[in-house]
Amino acid sequence: MAMKTMPKKLERLPELANNLWWSWNPEARAVWRMLDYPLWRTTVHNPVKMLHEIDDEMLKTKAADPAFVRHLNKVMLNYDHVMGNSDSWFVTNHKELTNKTIGYFSFEFGMHVSLPIYSGGLGILSGDHIKEAGDIGLPFVGVGFMYPQGYFRQRIPSHGWQESHYEHLDMEKSPVELVRDEEGNILQISVDIGDQTVNAQVWHIKVGRAKLYLMDTDVDSNAPWNRELSARLYGGDTETRIRQEIMLGIGGVRLLRKLGITPEIYHMNEGHSAFLVLELVREIVAKTGCSFHEAALQVRPKSIFTTHTPVPAGHDAFGFNLMDKYFGQYWEQLGLDRTGFMNLGAHEESWGEAFNMTVLALKMSGAANGVSQLHAEVSRDMWQSVWPEKEVDDIPIIGVTNGIHVPTWTALPFENLLNKYFGPDWVDRHDDQAMWERINDIPDQEIWDIHIDLRDKLFDEIRSRTRKRWVAGHRDATQVLTTGAFLSNRALTIGFARRFATYKRATLIFRDPDRLKRILMNPHRPVQIIFAGKAHPADDPGKHLIQTIYNIAKSHDWGGRIAFLEDYDMHMGRYLKQGSDIWLNTPRRPREASGTSGMKAALNGVPNMSILDGWWVEGYNGANGWAIGEGIDYDDPDEQDAADAESMYQLLEQEIVPLYYDRDRDGVPRGWVQLMKESIRSNGAKFSMRRMVKEYTEQLYIPAMKS
């Protein structure tokens, strides 16, 4: 079914729907709500789908509605101004560099719920990065994969063991467009992977001013095995993985060439794309006949690498046998022999020596960074072997702490509130700390009212999901209970949602069940906890944690005060991070490289209660939330768990619960609202994606552009 033909006055609606910019511009979002609110809801905020499914009568009515047409025209005027990029930060401050493109490579991009091609933090970070890069006017091109089946959808049957299923993305009804060549044929790139040639078509996604190109190997000319290569995100075994990474790194460079794009800088977001440096070397060697060493001297200054985890298993490494299979024909094109080639990535893994993508990226980059200051410190230690001649403090891995895209993650009522108190241009100034200092101008009552409203929205969403599943016949009564039907809109609500990796210790709060029960089931001051998150399909220990919590949620002993919401994604994440009262994070320090969900909560006045790990080491100031534990590293994990759990119980019993229930005559918890305000004031600018992308620009991109 094709998109509907638009009446003249609405003819630019498809253009607006096809640039994700609408998703972080409040007035553009309002266009879709005003156009057809029920359809906006049923399509789960997918305007392209709306324009396929909308009634012709409705289009006629809206075209004849002057208020709607006026609003749309105003939005499009703003859109044209933004796309003109005449006064952005980068253009204003670095005009002479605006012709130098940055190529940003990532395995996943999480931009909107309608494009489920992300699994968690890494993808959301890439999505936020590309949005902000465009917002501040950087010449920025993203490269990644289109996964026609995306990341898995999670379902939890009554035994609690996570099941995964995949859904085909309907490209027709997504904001994506196939790239065509000048003759109008579908553009294809090809890469030799082992002894086969793999072809890919390319999808273009408009992300504000930035461009994103996603490769898709599901084309007729490929053998079935190769068609599957980019079918799913993180769906395969090690061999699939190396083939995907060859496609991303080497195919990605070829894709840019085919599009006539020559980046000045290549930013590898995580090691998945690190093969791209080999392709850059190969190009130079082929063209000039120079040695590997000489070519590498040209490639390094343009290459930037960001590492994202201190967990060793999070760094891809491939056995030399696989490397032989896939690079046996390639290394001589680089002017290397086998030993020289393998040395680029050689690293001792827990299972023996292998080719490690992080080592390759570090050796071939001019600059590298970790994603928080603590993570950078841990990374310098972790990767010292790459620079055996250097002291640990001199290892060239700097810290650029992550951030979040503020326009994406600010709840609508807060957006309106900040418009009122900070001025309607507040979004343009959101990395200016001085602006956030004015938070105390806002009356407590207004902040609290908004919070109550967002909390009610969370519970409405929970109940409506539960109802839908019940109606669809997928649920028995215990499952209705576990998905939160018994939660109260008024009890102190702790939110915990993230990937279920074991180091995140989702079950830590249950270490002393009796003590926790006393906290939760206090009749006068009840507390409840909402969990959500997916375990990686191959991570059985992670699935086990989900099952443990699921069984607790089911049990009568816990009085319906624990819920586990299925199928965590960006959409549900918004509700949870905006509607919980506290955001809980309990990683095993120092394994949480940064964490970003806590930043999203903090921005919406939901204070964090977190281990001093990742971003919270920098975020916590003593008055904007709570620190679990002392911020020290332990040798004995059990000792660490015991100390952290004890700290958490004490905080809840002595500080958090009493403060939350201490209400004024007007029902407002003054002390709590003070904390909410401090959370917003101290985090809004500091953990914004704008601050982060400007840091990348000034510390990494510009020096590389000028080198």
Ligand X SMILES: *Cc1c(COP(=O)(O)O)cnc(C)c1O
Which residues would be at the binding site for ligand X (CB under 6 A)? 120-121, 124, 498-499, 569-570, 573, 595-598, 600
Buried b (16+ CB within 10 A) or exposed e, 6-25: bbebbeebeebbbbbbbbbb
Contact by Cβ (8 Å): 217, 243: no
Cα 298 to Cα 134, 303, 633, distances in angstroms:
27, 10, 40
By beta-carbon proximity to ligand X, the closer residue of 137 and 595 is 595
Our CB check for ligand X shows the closer of 120 and 590 to be: 120
Smallest separation (angstroms) from ligand X to the CB of 94: 29
DSSP state, residue 329: T
| Cis? peptide before 139, omega within 30° of 0 | no
Structure token pair of residue 405:
């895209």
Which DSSP letter does residue 266 get?
A: E
- Minimum CB distance to ligand X, residue 308 (Å): 10
Q: Which lies closer to ligand X via its Cβ, residue 83 or residue 113?
A: 113
CB atoms within 10 A of CB 93: 14
Contacts of residue 581, defined as CB under 8 A and 6 or more positions apart, other chains included, come to 451, 455, 492, 493, 494, 495, 606, 660
**Cα(604)–Cα(451) distance, integer angstroms:** 8
Give whichever of 356 and 483 is closer to ligand X, judged by the CB atom.
Answer: 483
Picking from 94, 115, 105, the residue whose alpha carbon sits closest to that of residue 280 is: 105
Cβ distance 111 to 206 under 8 Å? no
Residue 283 CB contacts under 8 Å (≥ 6 apart), including other chains: 253
List the one residue out of 66, 17, 19 whose CA is nearest residue 43: 17
CA 476-480-483 angle, 5° bins: 135
| Of residues 227 and 375, the one with the C-beta less far from ligand X | 375
Collapsed DSSP state (helix, strand, coil) of residue 609: strand
d(CA 355, CA 318): 5
Q: How far is the CB of 632 from ligand X (least distance, A)?
A: 21
Q: How far is the CB of 498 from ligand X (least distance, A)?
A: 3
**What is the closest distance, in whole angstroms, from the C-beta atom of residue 112 to ligand X in the complex?**
11
Nearer to ligand X, 302 or 498 (CB): 498
The rounded distance, in Å, linking the Cα atoms of 278 and 300 is 11
Q: How far is the CB of 268 from ligand X (least distance, A)?
A: 19
CB of 543 to ligand X, least distance (A): 17
CB 43 within 8 A of CB 200: no
Let me know if 350 is exposed, middle or buried by CB neighbors in 10 A (0-12, 13-18, 19+). exposed
Taking the least distance from each CB to ligand X, the nearer of 12 and 536 is 536
- Given the complex with ligand X, which of 578 and 597 has the nearer CB atom? 597
Residue 346 contacts residue 340 (beta carbons within 8 Å): no
Nearest distance, CB of residue 238 and ligand X, angstroms = 24
Q: Nearer Cβ to ligand X, position 459 or 616? A: 616
Q: What is the dihedral of CA 587, 368, 569, 531, to 10 degrees?
A: 0
Q: How far is the CB of 696 from ligand X (least distance, A)?
A: 18
Closest to ligand X by CB, 365 or 683: 683
Calpha distance 546→162 (Å, rounded): 7
Cα(582)–Cα(619) distance, integer angstroms = 15
- The Cα–Cα gap between 660 and 450 comes to 16
Taking the complex as a whole, the smallest distance from the CB of residue 531 to ligand X amounts, in Å, to 13
> What distance in Å separates the CA atoms of residue 107 and residue 308, rounded to the nearest whole number?
13
What DSSP element (H or E) covers 702? helix 702-706
Cα angle, residue 490 at apex, residues 625 and 460 outer, rounded to 5°: 105
State both tokens at 62.
């809206």
CB 29, min distance to ligand X, A: 18
Give CA–CA dist 493/528, Å, rounded: 5
Q: Whose Cβ is closer to ligand X: residue 112's or residue 232's?
A: 112
Distance of closest approach, residue 465 Cβ to ligand X, in angstroms: 16
Q: In this structure, are strands 527-532 and 492-497 parallel, antiparallel, or unpaired? A: parallel
Q: How far is the CB of 483 from ligand X (least distance, A)?
A: 18
Q: What is the DSSP string of 168-198?
A: ---GGGTT-EE-B-TTSPBPEEEEEETTEEE
- Residues in Cβ contact with 616 at an 8 Å cutoff, skipping those fewer than 6 apart: 585, 595, 598, 608, 610, 627
How many angstroms separate the CA atoms of 424 and 513, rounded? 48
Is 131 or 554 the residue whose CB approaches ligand X more closely?
Answer: 131
For ligand X, give the closer residue by CB, 24 or 448.
Answer: 24
Of residues 199 and 597, the one with the C-beta less far from ligand X: 597
Are 77 and 12 in contact by the 8 Å Cβ rule? The answer is no
Q: Output the smallest distance, CB 593 to ligand X, in A.
A: 8
Would you say 447 or 501 has its CB closer to ligand X? 501
Q: How far is the CB of 477 from ligand X (least distance, A)?
A: 29
Q: How far is the CB of 583 from ligand X (least distance, A)?
A: 9
- Rounded to whole angstroms, how far apart are CA atoms 432 and 691? 9
State how far the Cα of 186 lies from the Cα of 176, in Å rounded to an integer.
14
| Phi, psi for residue 28 in degrees, rounded to 5 | -70, -35
Closest to ligand X by CB, 121 vs 142, is: 121
Q: Residue 546 CB, nearest distance to ligand X (Å)? A: 15
